[in-house]
Structure 1
Amino acid sequence: MYIAPPVLIRLPSGGFPQAILAGVRTPNTIDKLRNACQSVGQHINIDVTEQSSELILVPKRIVVQTEDVSELQEIAAQLAIDFIEIPSSWSLLHFSASLEDYLINCQWSNEPELNWKSKTFDENILRFIFSPSSIEDNSGKRKPDLRLSQYKRPHQNTKIYYLWQEERCTQVERDWGRYAVIKAAKIQVLIYDKHRFIMAVPVGAKLPQLLERALTLCSGYAPMFIEELPLQQRAINSSISKEKVVVTNLNVTGFNLFRDVPPQIAEMTAVKLEQTMLIKSLDIKF
């Protein structure tokens, strides 16, 4: 763990240029930033917003809006910090591997299954559950051809994950492994509101780290948790009705919401994970 240096990072938003302050900050950082903004121009806006009340350890969102990119560069120069003009959300998204890339680089072997305590990822509820070791579960349903198993190390509170295909296995990162199983089951889990630029991801299908950071850096807001996603539909009498979102035939509860995600970034994220986005109109108030 280390503290990253302070930096102004441009957001991938339309309209006037905007940038968020990332990295280390001191108690007087905001005052210094305000002074720098005022010296560059009185028209420059600086907005300091608290994160969700549940995220007490996440720092405030500090965003600067100018009329021209050169003004962001000048503000950064006065603070003696870097300014990243290409939005980091784009850079991280392009740098991240795709699901196909990740699986190609996996090393498969014919090792016997570990005899540690284990759970199997159920793609229908997006959770790890205890399951029998036989080829069939209690309902008589045959195990899927591709499965993700979680093993707990004896006498330790750490876990490792193996992807199994028949008798072959490979150790994987949990989040990539989940999307491999979801893809094999032909299930779509990513929801996108193209009018409000909100992307909803089930908590049981957490995004791989770089993709999650890319979506977070679209706005500077940490993802917000919500138990249910209300759809917005207009009834005949012009009133608004709400109902729980049904993600294909999944029985899931809990979503992480990423805001201000441009359509191009949302689509590229889905492509990286070999998903097809479910386009919905969501009735969400931040």
Structure 2
Amino acid sequence: MSKLLLQAISTSGRMSIDKFDAAFDTLCQLPGISTSEVDLNHVRRQTIRYLDSLGHCEFDFDRRHVFACPPVLVALPPYGLPKAVLTGARTPSMVQKMKDFVKGNRNSVSHSIKLQRSEHPLLPPAIYIEAVDHDHLRKVAQAAQIGCHLTASAAWSLVNFSAGIENVRYNLSYEDRADINWLKRTFYANTLTFSKNHNTENVQGLVEYTDPRSQQKRHWIWDGNRAAEADRDWGRYMILADEGVDVLLYDERRHQLAVPAYVPLPRFLARAATLCTGLAPAPARMGEQSVGGMPAGHPVDIYCAVPPPVATMISEKLSQNLIDHSTVPDSHGVIS
């Protein structure tokens, strides 16, 4: 069942957000999709974010369309034999061609599937190909008539491709602006959340505005009487950098990166972290004590198998210092 949403998008190639929402709602009603005790809007938002970070789809909310990415077999970070994961659009015939090639070359190539976590019922399972060398991985891609990126791991390529916070900051276009009379909330570094700002006469920092007609969100970063429109994800990390608040936990022993769930990684950095495994991050929660700038009780996303160079590059791109801390949750999903 979990593969049906991506299959629908792949078949269309491009789908309106309204049709995506309708498909999501329909699939959530199917037997075997357990969503009865969760907030469906939260599951929808998470599904959209992870379909992007897994490299399957791209969402354009301005034009209100979702696009299937081209199918590509991409290399995972090296932890043994060369291994790749399938990203982008996915059809049954494509997957069958990959299986057929593997079946005829069992001494050199293997195929495996791993389901996403139960918290993500509509994310497709990860499809892996492992081979004795990169040449055989290329032959699998050729047999399935799809692209491949094997010269370096996708994670390493993406983390190097991504802009850094100073590049993003440099490209902000500040203008003299008057505050607009829309519903607004300000991002606070001490809680890592947006909250209502009661000081309406001196709006500063990262402010979220809600268009009263479309309900679309806009984000401005204020500096005195000047403001610049900013990406929500980058904007939060700019505020954290300005206030010297570090929130990324890294368990070097286990190669796990924990990120505040309310301050997710910007797009290409999220894709880099996710494509270390081809799996969406695991949810957990901080314990009763804060760790660095991570508040007590805050929900976190744990990315697995993130090599130290990738974790370090992610932190540098965000002007963050990695916090050395165990990311192993207890039986209740709590990191102490």
Query: Normalising to structure 2: TM-score of the pair?
Result: 0.74
Aligned residue type for 2:171: N
The alignment yields a C-alpha RMSD, in angstroms, of: 2.1
Does the 8 Å contact 1:45/1:66 carry over to 2? yes
Specify the alignment match of 2:32 in structure 1.
none
Specify the alignment match of 2:130 in structure 1.
65
> In the superposition, relative to structure 1, how do residues 157 and 7 fare at CA in structure 2: closer, same or farther (>3 Å)?
same
Aligned residue type for 2:166: E
> In the superposition, relative to structure 1, how do residues 168 and 282 fare at CA in structure 2: closer, same or farther (>3 Å)?
same
Using the alignment, how far apart are the partners of 1:226 and 1:13 within structure 2?
26
Specify the alignment match of 1:194 in structure 2.
252
Using the alignment, how far apart are the partners of 2:192 and 2:297 within structure 1?
7
- 2:327 matched to 1:265? no
Residues 50-104 of structure 1: CA deviation (Å, up to 9, x unaligned): 1011212211011111121111112222222222112222222112110000000
Specify the alignment match of 1:234 in structure 2.
none
Using the alignment, how far apart are the partners of 2:304 and 2:110 within structure 1?
20
Aligned residue type for 2:228: T
- 2:321 matched to 1:276? yes
1:132 to 190, 198, 217: 198
Using the alignment, how far apart are the partners of 2:260 and 2:232 within structure 1?
15
Superposition pairs of residues 161-172 of structure 1, within 5 angstroms = 161-172=219-230
Does the 8 Å contact 2:261/2:301 carry over to 1? yes
Residues 127-170 of structure 1: CA deviation (Å, up to 9, x unaligned): 0001212568xxxxxx8xx6111111122211101111222211
Specify the alignment match of 2:146 in structure 1.
81
2:114 to 40, 46, 49: 49
Uncovered stretches (5+) of structure 2, i.e. residues with no partner: 1-65
Specify the alignment match of 1:254 in structure 2.
299
Q: Aligned to 1:204, what secondary structure does the other structure show? A: coil
Using the alignment, how far apart are the partners of 1:253 and 1:284 within structure 2?
13
Uncovered stretches (5+) of structure 1, i.e. residues with no partner: 137-142, 230-242
Highest CA radius of gyration, 1 or 2? 1
Task: Considering Cα pairs closer than 8 Å and 6+ residues apart, tell me whether 1 or 2 has the greater RCO.
Answer: 1
Superposition pairs of residues 213-228 of structure 1, within 5 angstroms = 213-228=271-286
Using the alignment, how far apart are the partners of 1:261 and 1:113 within structure 2?
42
Q: CA deviation at 1:249?
A: 6.5
Specify the alignment match of 1:183 in structure 2.
241
Specify the alignment match of 1:236 in structure 2.
none
Does the 8 Å contact 1:147/1:163 carry over to 2? yes
Q: Aligned to 2:176, what secondary structure does the other structure show? A: coil
Moved over 4 A (4+): none
Q: CA deviation at 1:5?
A: 2.9
Identical columns (%):
31
Does the 8 Å contact 1:13/1:260 carry over to 2? no
Using the alignment, how far apart are the partners of 1:212 and 1:184 within structure 2?
21
Q: Aligned to 2:187, what secondary structure does the other structure show? A: strand
Superposition pairs of residues 91-130 of structure 1, within 5 angstroms = 91-130=157-196
Count residues with an aligned counterpart: 265
Using the alignment, how far apart are the partners of 1:126 and 1:38 within structure 2?
49
Specify the alignment match of 2:54 in structure 1.
none
Residues 167-204 of structure 1: CA deviation (Å, up to 9, x unaligned): 22111011111011101111100011111111110012
Does the 8 Å contact 2:155/2:273 carry over to 1? yes
